Structure 1
């Protein structure tokens, strides 16, 4: 269980939430919603114990599984399989059992061997109690349903993309939560921040079913309306205007109807109160002219102020970033060429012999199953990594803009302003400030460290850096992740209008349709083909 009392959360001096009382109990499946920047990610981090509230107290009991938007750093030398199994302590216990078996075989003294056998027996009992003998197949089943193939599970985490590591972390959390035989862990409270990112359509469908059957608590942030509709039985709405959370003990569709009714009621109450207050003030203004009625006039003014003082502020319509890529810098006919690219991590070959030429204004989609190397190829083209063989050849006037799905291009310790200033050192200050304003960054938020932003805000900041760069070749890796529907449409509209070259990796069919690609690169073989609508089915599977 999680209980928060008198909770106050802030971003700098901006109050996100004040005097909130929140509770998560077994059986609660809560959708945490609100506009980008309302404080959803901050709230989840504080509930998970990964951040401290400005005021108030959070109490936790029982098992907890937290999936942040960005993959956590840690020991990247362990394999993906061991990382998943570590959720129940099985990886370490299995290694201890192997050591004990080797020790038993080497002991000559009967008494010592007998002690070693008893010790091994106790470990084996513990291993069985944790479901050890069935655990590997159960973990493999969860991983497979999340699109993690067997070949990925044997790789060290350092060789995986950010999206793959995040799916490993999700698998680990679900593996722990599904453990009905390990002291009640099936009552785990799950705190999931955009869990469908990097998942294909089949994996998202499986995840919805898993979460719907989960008998522990759940708080989920998601832009996937189908997931919210299928899974949640309660909704917390963070109102950025009032700095409050509205609690709805109902499913998603009933919540939508109830919130619309609440907003309508608030507007009606304010309109009525303002009308009455206006009449009182008008009457007081007439009475103040007479000295004998001055006291009565003052009383009327106080009554008018009291009428509107206790009313909720009118909820402002959610602002949407105005995203438009500027005209690209001039360049040659073929600003970017790659010849014979190959990349391996240890003995694992990602792809080999990839050739491509990106012509001025061309539009290319990279497709392939998860783990085929799509992000790796973009990183090679962007100069973030070096190929094992082959080369990337810049053409005349090349100016690359790289958008990383895990926001690696952002300096999380630097402020919003410093990040964009670094991306565009030659752009006049006032022009940059105006640009940031169109991306909904202004005032004190310019001084906010990028690492404290929500996933959607980081996406907007990274895109603002791209816009300021006047790049003529955009390398975009899942640019619509973490965006609310309105902001996503802005990004897609900007893609439609951009006249420079674009190389796109995405699971979002809408992004591909907006791009209207001419060519497709199929990994791991590196095959090039003309775009056909038949490839659209592969986008969500990729």
Structure 2
């Protein structure tokens, strides 16, 4: 349970949320919505105890589970299964049981007896924490999130960004927390996992706040909507489901327009009468009072609310290049004995559009990182053709230097632009004033997406490597990205779970991993996009 009293949220000097009080009790399933950069992620971090409000208090009772947009938790050497089981403390008991088993298998005499006693103690602790039934429950949750048993047996460092995020989601759902705070939980989930998650959250008995741009999830799950209005820095609370909220918002806007029109009409009549009365000295005071009444009438009406701004996203005019700006020869990637993909050949021709498909963990992100020169293949090589300029959009935003400011990140990607031009581009991506001086680490997922895309815009790249470019975006910003993909004249290699992004790209070829099969695009492959 959360009790929030007079909480105020700021980013430096900028007010994100005026003081507001609310509570989250068992059975509340709240959709927290608003445009990118409104402060949703900042608010949830504060609710989770990972940030401090500018004012007010947050009281937490019971266990809280928090899924941030970019989870980086866990020891990279830790086994994925242990990371999930650790939510209930089962991992430590299981590790002690494994060590005891290893000793029992090799030792004898008193050492073996000590190991047997240690195993008994560890097993008792394991059973007390839920035991084998809890382990089975964790495995079931993981499987429903698309995590195979093979993946659960791997160290975290060997997993893709999408797999790591699903491990964190599995851990939080398994934790049996009283309150869940989930920031974009459907990112990196395939279609079946999204359907399962909707069903799970529909029956979740605790309190829930979910940030999501997946309207089907919101429609299926939430029974309250908190709308964070960035223009007013206020939280509008609707105690109703998603469809009723949408209808109520439209009704409220029509009412505000109607009230404003009526107030303007009446105020106009009062001002006209006041102007006539001012001509007579004996009625000057009455005229002044009438004018004040008109001003008061207008001041008491809210009127239409300011529409949210949308970033103007247009990818660069590509620099001239040769016929085939990017090639990969016999590319393979392994982590120890784990083979991700082998012997993949591909050629990215000038202006070509390629989609990389494959199940989660098939190596799609790894392939893009290798093509971008960020990661080395285990074997094979990448060659750049004449005039090739590669721009890479990373789904985890690791291309951003998080300790540096928004402005400095942009300057590093566009050394030939002067300060004024850089600020102009940032302004079109909704970074203005003091916002450009913020360190990238404090940005929300949507803001990081906008910054990374802005850096691509000034790069003059002729090959774009895009890894889930529509994640974390509100519907209006997503539409801008899709249009930018649609109109870009250079080559694109795209990894996405978003069928709309593939439709916008109009691909001519597909690369299927881990087999490395390269084929002409057909609509048959479209059915695999949201399963990948």
TM-based fold match above 0.5: yes
Distance 1:113 1:224 in 2: 54
Aligned to 1:180: none
Gaps of 5+ in 1: 178-184
Of the candidates 429, 437, 442, which is equivalent to residue 427 of structure 2? 437
* Alignment deviations for residues 294-330 of structure 1 (CA, whole Å, 9 cap, x no partner): 4444434443343333443631222222211222001
SS across alignment from 1:480: coil
SS across alignment from 2:53: coil
Aligned to 1:89: 89
Distance 1:69 1:282 in 2: 56
Aligned to 1:338: 328
* Alignment deviations for residues 54-84 of structure 1 (CA, whole Å, 9 cap, x no partner): 1111110001110111122441110111100
Q: How does 1:147-226 map to 2 (within 5 A)?
A: 147-177=146-176, 185=177, 188-226=178-216
Aligned to 1:135: 134
Distance 1:330 1:99 in 2: 60
Distance 1:292 1:123 in 2: 96
C-alpha deviation, 1:519, in angstroms? 1.2
Aligned to 1:449: 439
Distance 2:12 2:269 in 1: 40
Distance 1:267 1:15 in 2: 26
Distance 2:74 2:80 in 1: 12
SS across alignment from 1:325: coil
Say if 2:74 and 2:83, in contact at 8 Å, map to a contact too. no
Please, which moves more after superposition, 463-472 or 480-489?
480-489
Distance 1:98 1:76 in 2: 20
Aligned to 2:394: 404
Distance 2:271 2:74 in 1: 63
Aligned to 1:181: none
Aligned to 1:25: 25
Distance 2:302 2:121 in 1: 62
* Alignment deviations for residues 386-428 of structure 1 (CA, whole Å, 9 cap, x no partner): 1121111111111010000011111222222222121111023
C-alpha deviation, 1:253, in angstroms? 1.0
Distance 2:173 2:73 in 1: 19
SS across alignment from 1:402: strand
Of the candidates 481, 484, 504, which is equivalent to residue 471 of structure 2? 481
Q: How does 1:239-254 map to 2 (within 5 A)?
A: 239-254=229-244
Aligned to 1:267: 257
* Alignment deviations for residues 190-210 of structure 1 (CA, whole Å, 9 cap, x no partner): 100110000010000000010
C-alpha deviation, 1:288, in angstroms? 4.8
C-alpha distance 537-113 of structure 1, shift in aligned 2 (>3 A): closer
- How many residues are matched? 530
Of the candidates 351, 371, 376, which is equivalent to residue 386 of structure 1? 376
SS across alignment from 2:527: helix
Say if 1:241 and 1:313, in contact at 8 Å, map to a contact too. no
Distance 2:348 2:103 in 1: 60
* Alignment deviations for residues 116-154 of structure 1 (CA, whole Å, 9 cap, x no partner): 95x866654442232211222221211111111122111
Distance 1:192 1:73 in 2: 15
Aligned to 2:523: 533
Q: 1:314 and 2:304 equivalent?
A: yes
* Alignment deviations for residues 330-366 of structure 1 (CA, whole Å, 9 cap, x no partner): 1111111111111111221111111111111111111
Aligned to 1:41: 41
Normalising to structure 1: TM-score of the pair?
Answer: 0.92
Please, which moves more after superposition, 89-98 or 19-28?
89-98
C-alpha deviation, 1:6, in angstroms? 0.8
Say if 2:259 and 2:303, in contact at 8 Å, map to a contact too. no
SS across alignment from 1:412: coil
Aligned to 1:144: 143
Say if 2:316 and 2:456, in contact at 8 Å, map to a contact too. no
Q: How does 1:2-81 map to 2 (within 5 A)?
A: 2-81=2-81
Distance 2:414 2:295 in 1: 48
Please, which moves more after superposition, 392-401 or 489-498?
489-498
Distance 1:290 1:37 in 2: 54
Please, which moves more after superposition, 312-321 or 75-84?
312-321
Normalising to structure 2: TM-score of the pair?
Answer: 0.94
